[in-house]
Amino acid sequence: MDFQFKAILQSDGWLENTRISTDKKGVITSIGPTEDPNDASGYAIPGFRNCHSHAFQYAMAGLAERHGKESGGDDFWGWRKTMYELALSLDPDQVEAIAAMLYSELVRHGYTHVSEFHYLHHDKDGRPYANPAEMGERLIAAAETAGINITLLPVFYQKGGFGKDPLPEQRRFISPDLFDYASLLQRTIDACSESELARAGIAVHSLRGVDPEDVVRISQELGGELPFHIHISEQIKEVEECVGHLGARPLEWFLRNVNVSDRFNLVHATHATDREARGIAKKGANVVLCPSTEGNLGDGLFPLKEFQDAGGRWSIGTDSHVGLNPFEELRLLDYGQRLTNHRRDTFTGESESSGENAIRSAFFAGVKATGETTSEYFEVGKPLNACVIRDDHPLIEATGLGSLADRIVYASGPAWVKGTIVNGKWRVENG
């Protein structure tokens, strides 16, 4: 199949009037010039990787915003109570339906891959299903319905806090020990092998959610080269309790005790110190930033400048799904930094274009987070995954290629997305 674009974005810039040919499986067989530029339409940028998702939470997006008259009474921990109530109410059919709707919306907005940080494992009473991977298989089915690639990350969730037994409302999440989790992981790997869209990764909920000794063991003994994800240093209370329990801040402890490498994806890392941010970069690990959710929950702002200056790599996720637009995530990430640093050069890198630098980091760190291997946005031998931007919007028509990525990242809305191609198929076309 042939796709002809007015231009495609590669990591070193735009290629004008380009044809991409694919085989029956959607794998790119050639990239070259169009035979007739009049047949080309749309501007193709790499499909976005959504590197942190809790699909079931989409059902409560925007419904945790009612607060008492007295200020200061609601924070992340208050929001968590509402989330637990939702988690205890859903059956497998509902989880699959919510996820299918969410994933379809992600595709409509230009995402072609989602990393699902999945911890809703058991039935409403906390008992394992006859098939321990029941809920994970429902998420794979939802991805197939929507036509989106998925990296399923079954989460090891063991504790109710540092040194605390799990809470009753966490009963659907809990794997009591490493053996139990290893079994769940293997069942997940087997389930993913049955789908052309799915692959598996490994996840630990957080240092507060798993015994520290098991965090070290799981990093050493399970998963091999699978991508490893963990929530870390998201909340001030979490940092303070970690210091009290382990004698170190979460990132400080993790970097000191775990053999961190580029397969590690540290989610949020909101309250990283400058030193910790540099330590993440030195280890080659990636951070996953979720600006719309981090803003909604009042988490705080990651020290992005220090991290980038040290060579750090970051990807984006939509987490609780109060926002689904990848361009909005990039803008929120940038503007939060501008408001605190009073500078406008947040996204630095190989290009003078902030938009190109943002897309580059989100892509290559996103590939690490999802467990893919590629060296270019569009590469022969790899599936064609693209977010295609309309060429008939007045602001696009009035823009040269040198500024096109900036205009797309900073001025676009969902209506600018002409369509989304996943594995060589138009999953959304002409809106």
Active site residues: 268, 319
Q: How many CB atoms lie within 10 A of CB 233?
A: 27
Cα dihedral angle (371, 376, 377, 379), rounded to 10 degrees? -100
From the list 317, 313, 237, the residue with the least C-alpha distance to 277 is 313
One-letter-per-residue 3-state SS of the chain: CEEEEEEEEECCEEEEEEEEEECCCCEEEEEEECCCHHHCCCEEEECEEEEEECHHHHHHCCCCCCCCCCCCCCCHHHHHHHHHHHHCCCCHHHHHHHHHHHHHHHHHCCEEEEEEEECCCCCCCCCCCCCCCHHHHHHHHHHHHHCCEEEEEEEECCCCECCECCCHHHCCCCCCCHHHHHHHHHHHHHHHCCCCCEEECEEECCCCCCCHHHHHHHHHHCCCCCCEEEEECCCHHHHHHHHHHHCCCHHHHHHHHCCCCCCEEEEECCCCCHHHHHHHHHHCCEEEECHHHHHHCCCCCCCHHHHHHCCCEEEECCECCCCCCHHHHHHHHHHHHHHHHCCCCCCCCCCCCHHHHHHHHHHHHHHHHHCCCCCCCCCCCCECCEEEECCCCHHHHCCCHHHHHHHHHHHCCHHHEEEEEECCEEEEECC
Do residues 353 and 14 lie in contact, with contact meaning Cβ atoms separated by under 8 Å? no
Rounded to whole angstroms, the Cα distance separating 132 from 75 reads: 33
